[in-house]
Structure 1
Amino acid sequence: MRSVILAVLVSCGLAGCAARRETVVVSASQVEIVDDGGAGQVIRPADQAKIDALPAIWQAAWGKSPGRARSREGALLEPAAALDHPELSPGSYNCRLIRLGGRAGTRRVRNFPTHFCYVGAADGVLNFTKQTGSELPAGLLYKTGKRYTFVGALQRAEGDNSLVYGADQARDVAGVVERVGPFRWRMVMPVGEQDLDILELTPVPVERQAS
């Protein structure tokens, strides 16, 4: 393994209602993180272990979720639904959080309102920002086969994306992004041994994209 220094400065705009439009900046400087040996992938071993355990975590969470929820959400919640050609285009996305497992409560599934996310690009690397809502992951996306590996941090407030992966391990998040249908992706973040946070990503219509 080798240590690397990550330096990124990304600016992106939020699409949607005019009242919601704002500029969000993601910045990182002199943050030391660990390369797991993958092609350009930078991630701590503990977070890589969570991703490696994702199939077992997913089966545990999915198997205990109500059949009605699985039927309603379709491929979004199916463990093996990832499709080829996962490429994400830079721009604004609608993103909806679905929580699976014990953290979701007695029903094992909890849906949250739709918010806005943004995918940008800098120096050949995609970056992701959840711009609105109560939980705000932001970080980088590394292409790994037919999915992306996401490494980032939970931000403290909308518009304040000063936290980067590696700065505060308690706020670090990691997961994968997969395509599960036409213009439909999911970001899957394992939490603990039997819980998942799944973000459904669908592009904001072209006419509402920030210029």
Structure 2
Amino acid sequence: MRSVALAVLVSFVLAGCAATRETAVVSVAQIEIIDDGGAGQVIRPADQAKLDALPAIWRAVWGQSPGRVRAVEGALLEPGAALDHPELSPGSYNCRLIRLGRRAGARRMRSFPTHFCHVGAANGGLNFTKQTGSDLPAGHLYKTEKRYTFVGALQRAQGDNSLVYGTDQARDIAGVVERVGPFRWRMVVPVGEQDLDVLELTPVPVERQAS
């Protein structure tokens, strides 16, 4: 296997004349993940097993979700809603976490405030960083026909992307990224046997992108 240095965007500040004119500003650092040529080969067997079980977990969690949640969120949470042409463009994204399953409490669903993420281009591929909030995944996106496979690690603090996949198995994270509408994607991460984290991704408007 070979190690590939990936540029990951590690810090985030907001600037602008008003709250509605915030601008994403990022700086760059380097991390490494293991890459031996294929999305299926880069993932530890335990994480690959989670992805293999994702369809069944997803159907079960979806079946337990309140009807109002299905109506409001629509394709974002629906199994099998992935569309063709999943390509992500580099840049800043709004990202909103929705937690489904037992960890979400009695209602089986919990939505968190919107934060900021960034997709960057490096070495012919893409990397992904969640820049603000409490859960901070950072890693690489591997393209397949209708989706990306995400492999990374949950960082300890904003602006610190020192953890790479395989360093601390308790912080390793693997999921899939799919397009579910015009300029709308989701990152879906299986957590345990009856829980999902779904991160909605929508591009930050052009006028708020870092120049």
TM-score for both structures, normalised by structure 1: 0.90
Partner residue, 1:23:
26
Deviation >6 Å, runs of 4+? none
Partner residue, 1:101:
101
Partner residue, 2:19:
none
In structure 2, relative to structure 1, the CA distance for the partners of 1:39 and 1:197 (3 Å cut) is: closer
- C-alpha distance in 1 between matches for 2:40 and 2:103: 33
Amino acid at match of 1:195: D
> Secondary structure at the residue paired with 1:87?
coil
Per-residue CA distance 1:45-71 (angstroms, 9 max, x = gap): 211111111100101111111011011
Q: Is the 8 A contact 1:187 1:198 kept in 2?
A: yes
Per-residue CA distance 1:28-55 (angstroms, 9 max, x = gap): 24x5x475x7468521121111111110
In structure 2, relative to structure 1, the CA distance for the partners of 1:43 and 1:16 (3 Å cut) is: same
Partner residue, 1:5:
3
| Count of aligned pairs between the two proteins | 206
- Shift of residue 146, structure 1, vs aligned partner: 0.5
Does residue 83 (structure 1) correspond to residue 83 (structure 2)? The answer is: yes
- C-alpha distance in 1 between matches for 2:8 and 2:134: 22
Partner residue, 1:181:
181
TM-score for both structures, normalised by structure 2: 0.90
Partner residue, 1:60:
60
Partner residue, 2:133:
133
- Shift of residue 13, structure 1, vs aligned partner: 6.9
CA RMSD between the two structures = 2.1
Amino acid at match of 1:175: G
Q: Which runs of 5+ in 1 are unaligned?
A: none
Q: Which runs of 5+ in 2 are unaligned?
A: 17-21
Q: Is the 8 A contact 2:128 2:141 kept in 1?
A: yes
Partner residue, 1:170:
170
Q: Is the 8 A contact 2:51 2:190 kept in 1?
A: yes
Q: Is the 8 A contact 1:12 1:120 kept in 2?
A: no
Moved more, 81-90 or 157-166: 157-166
Q: Is the 8 A contact 2:25 2:210 kept in 1?
A: no
In structure 2, relative to structure 1, the CA distance for the partners of 1:49 and 1:4 (3 Å cut) is: farther
- C-alpha distance in 2 between matches for 1:65 and 1:11: 34
- C-alpha distance in 2 between matches for 1:124 and 1:149: 15
- C-alpha distance in 2 between matches for 1:76 and 1:140: 22
